[in-house]
A and B are shown apart, each in its own frame.
Chain A
Amino acid sequence: MSNGFLAHLGRAYVGLILFFLYAPILVMAAMSLNASEFYQLPFRGSTEWYARLWHNGEILSAAWRSVWIAVIVTLIATTLGTAASVALFRHDFRGKRVLQVLLFPPIAIPWLITGTAMLIFFFGIGLGRGTPAVIIGHVALALPYVIVVVSARLATFDRTLEEAARSLGATPWQITRAVTVPWILPGIIAGGLFAFAVSFDQFVVSYFLSEPGDTTLPVLIYTSIRKGFTPEINAISTIIIALSMGIMLLAARYSNFGGER
């Protein structure tokens, strides 16, 4: 009986968490479909705000910018992160553990502080603000995620497969391509999706490092809100949320269940 009570309590607790997480998002999604500009009820369904997005050049160009920056960041971070994971897996060297531990703080340090540090650093080395700085900053933020996800997948890799390939005459590069990468591919895909999400959703670092005018979508949304809140923002935010959640679902699928296909 007390078990049943605990189970109910547990369910209520999970329900509450989900409510606080998703209620604001659902309200926003609902309002993006409400015809009234001032959130007036009763609700009258309309796709007007979505239609307007298509004619808002500022939002479109920011969205396009966010996407291509995220794609470049994903390519760079996934390649570097996978190479680093494989190297960490294959070789034992002094300071390896220290290096692995050093990979975690960028995930834990507040982005505001990372962003400030990067801004100071990029000005210090003469790079300053701009797209290259944004891309480098995003890669630095995304890299630990890729390494953690790919390394987790590598931990399930049977080392004797690499030894078998070597005994058959394969060079390290041939082994990587034909044996190791096919095994960790789900991890690479998941890591890439994380990298995309980290870059696409990135606000703080983008805000600090981008030049005025060259904004990404999150930065544009932030600046628009300060000018005045329009349901158009609800619409674009709803699209971003749908996209991000889709990516995270895919990433979860690849990182957890990818192996047994």
Chain B
Amino acid sequence: MAEVRVENLVKTYGAARALDEVTLDFPDGGFFGLLGPSGSGKTTLLRAIAGFVLPETGRVLIADEPVENVPVEKRGIGMVFQNYALFPNMTVAENIAFGLDVRKVGAAEKKRRVTEALDLVQLGAFGARKPHQLSGGQRQRVAMARAIVTRPRVLLLDEPLSALDKALRVDMQIELKRIQREIGITTIFVTHDQEEALTLSDRIGILKDGRLIRHGPPREVYDDPRDSFTATFLGDARIFSGTREADGLRLADGTLVPGAQGATIAVRPENFQLSASEPNAPCRLRAHLVQKIFGGALGTCLLDWQGEVIKVVGRDADFRALPESGPVWVSWQPEHSVTISP
């Protein structure tokens, strides 16, 4: 197990910066979720830690030891790929044993560790199968077992669950977290699924255009996004800006948002209420309901306000009284106005 640290990493492809001065600590034994829109540099950062990508400048340290000149095969990492990358010509047990074979681990020791790894991922009876005889979730587990059987210092996962369907993905999230806790390995996990990152991680980092925008414990980042990108990316929040006044924020249309502390605030979709008649809540806007989207227990309403879209998420039952479209009131409590930098 080891702490991983990257310092001032820069990687350019042509004119584009895939990584732009990224400095970040991945604590020992922690589960770190890397988030960001497509093309933000998540994979590049992970591959720089693995050694597949060589940054132009900056350092990568594993257990305080610089590894820029250490090739991938000597970095002591375990990696799980999005498509699992199981060796098709080998059985499940042979796949798992591969890392031990190249290390010339003795037969008895090898057998013991392969069995242990198979048990850890609950695939004890599948050792003799070929990868193509497994389901997606089972392949995922084999890939995990293969990556950890060599007792790597760091486990790197690049969207390992994205090829699974939703129900299986939730199962595998729980599974992944259990395995990670059991062996206590430093884990760095790339995902484009915000919810997945928030659920699994002890800490998250948000990348945008190769730059690290924000990092910290998930709840802290979620509750206090500080900047508009984090607020919209992580919480899907609506941003309101206007001019700061003594008793609140004056929006462009003249509405006063009482209690707001800055010139820009964010409000998350689950904190809005909708009503047909004027509500009592101090923060309220008159908007136009454009669309109601049914989604089971939770529903979504899309509203038009001053030519911008406001997204509202709530219990479907609460939306039933509203018309399909037409003028509605949007309201929220002052404590849900989160001050951010523009």
Name B83-118 residues within 8 Å CB distance of A. Answer: 83, 85-89, 98-99, 101-103
Q: How far is the CA of A225 from the CA of B120 in the complex (A)?
A: 74
| B176 contacts the other chain (CB 8 A) | no
Q: How large is the interface on A (under 10, 10 to 19, 20 to 34, 35 or more residues)?
A: 10 to 19
| B150 contacts the other chain (CB 8 A) | yes
List A contacts of B98 (CB < 8 A): 165, 168, 170, 178
- 1/0 per residue, CB under 8 A from B, across A148-172: the answer is 0000000000101101111111110
- Nearest-neighbour CB distance to chain A for B13, whole angstroms, equals 14
The tally of residues in B whose CB lies under 8 Å from a CB in A reads 25
Is A163 within 8 A of B85, CB to CB?
yes
| A182 contacts the other chain (CB 8 A) | yes
- 1/0 per residue, CB under 8 A from B, across A187-228: the answer is 000000000000000000000000000000000000000000
Is A170 within 8 A of B73, CB to CB?
yes
Is A168 within 8 A of B150, CB to CB?
yes
- 1/0 per residue, CB under 8 A from A, across B59-74: the answer is 0000000000001111
| A256 contacts the other chain (CB 8 A) | no
Is B81 within 8 A of A169, CB to CB?
no
| B78 contacts the other chain (CB 8 A) | yes
Is A166 within 8 A of B87, CB to CB?
no
- Nearest-neighbour CB distance to chain A for B255, whole angstroms, equals 53
| A183 contacts the other chain (CB 8 A) | yes
List A contacts of B52 (CB < 8 A): 163, 166
List A contacts of B102 (CB < 8 A): 168-171, 174
List B contacts of A179 (CB < 8 A): 87, 89
Is A160 within 8 A of B83, CB to CB?
yes
Q: How far is the CA of A170 from the CA of B146 in the complex (A)?
A: 13
| B301 contacts the other chain (CB 8 A) | no
Is A163 within 8 A of B81, CB to CB?
yes
Is A166 within 8 A of B88, CB to CB?
no
Q: From known contacts A169-B150, A170-B73, infer whether A164 and B103 are also in contact, taking CB-CB under 8 Å.
A: no
| B77 contacts the other chain (CB 8 A) | yes
Is B89 within 8 A of A166, CB to CB?
no
Is B99 within 8 A of A160, CB to CB?
no
| B206 contacts the other chain (CB 8 A) | no
List B contacts of A163 (CB < 8 A): 52, 72, 79, 81, 85
Is B85 within 8 A of A164, CB to CB?
yes
List A contacts of B249 (CB < 8 A): none
List B contacts of A161 (CB < 8 A): 85, 87
Is B81 within 8 A of A164, CB to CB?
yes
Q: How far is the CA of A164 from the CA of B85 in the complex (A)?
A: 6
- Nearest-neighbour CB distance to chain B for A87, whole angstroms, equals 18
Name B124-163 residues within 8 Å CB distance of A. Answer: 146-147, 150, 156
Is A160 within 8 A of B81, CB to CB?
yes
| B239 contacts the other chain (CB 8 A) | no
Is B85 within 8 A of A182, CB to CB?
no
List B contacts of A170 (CB < 8 A): 73, 98-99, 102
| B50 contacts the other chain (CB 8 A) | yes
List A contacts of B83 (CB < 8 A): 158, 160
- Nearest-neighbour CB distance to chain B for A257, whole angstroms, equals 16
- Nearest-neighbour CB distance to chain B for A111, whole angstroms, equals 38
Q: How far is the CA of A178 from the CA of B87 in the complex (A)?
A: 9
- Name, among A165, A166, A168, the residue most crowded by chain B CB atoms within 10 Å (CB to CB): A168
Is B89 within 8 A of A167, CB to CB?
no
Q: How far is the CA of A168 from the CA of B52 in the complex (A)?
A: 13
- Nearest-neighbour CB distance to chain A for B134, whole angstroms, equals 16
Closest residue on chain B to residue A164 by CB atoms: B85
Is B87 within 8 A of A171, CB to CB?
no
Q: How far is the CA of A163 from the CA of B72 in the complex (A)?
A: 9
- Nearest-neighbour CB distance to chain B for A129, whole angstroms, equals 45
What is the interface of chain B, defined by CB distance below 8 A to chain A? 50, 52, 71-74, 77-79, 81, 83, 85-89, 98-99, 101-103, 146-147, 150, 156
List, sorted by A's number, 19 A–B pairs whose CB atoms are closer than 8 Å: A160-B85, A161-B87, A163-B72, A164-B87, A166-B52, A166-B72, A167-B79, A168-B99, A168-B102, A169-B74, A169-B99, A170-B73, A170-B98, A170-B102, A171-B102, A179-B87, A182-B89, A183-B88, A183-B89
**Nearest 8 pairs between A and B by C-beta?**
A168-B99, A164-B85, A167-B79, A182-B89, A160-B85, A170-B102, A166-B72, A169-B73
Identify 8 new A-B residue pairs, CB closer than 8 A, beyond the known A160-B83, A164-B86, A183-B89. Answer: A158-B85, A164-B146, A167-B73, A167-B156, A169-B74, A171-B102, A178-B101, A183-B88
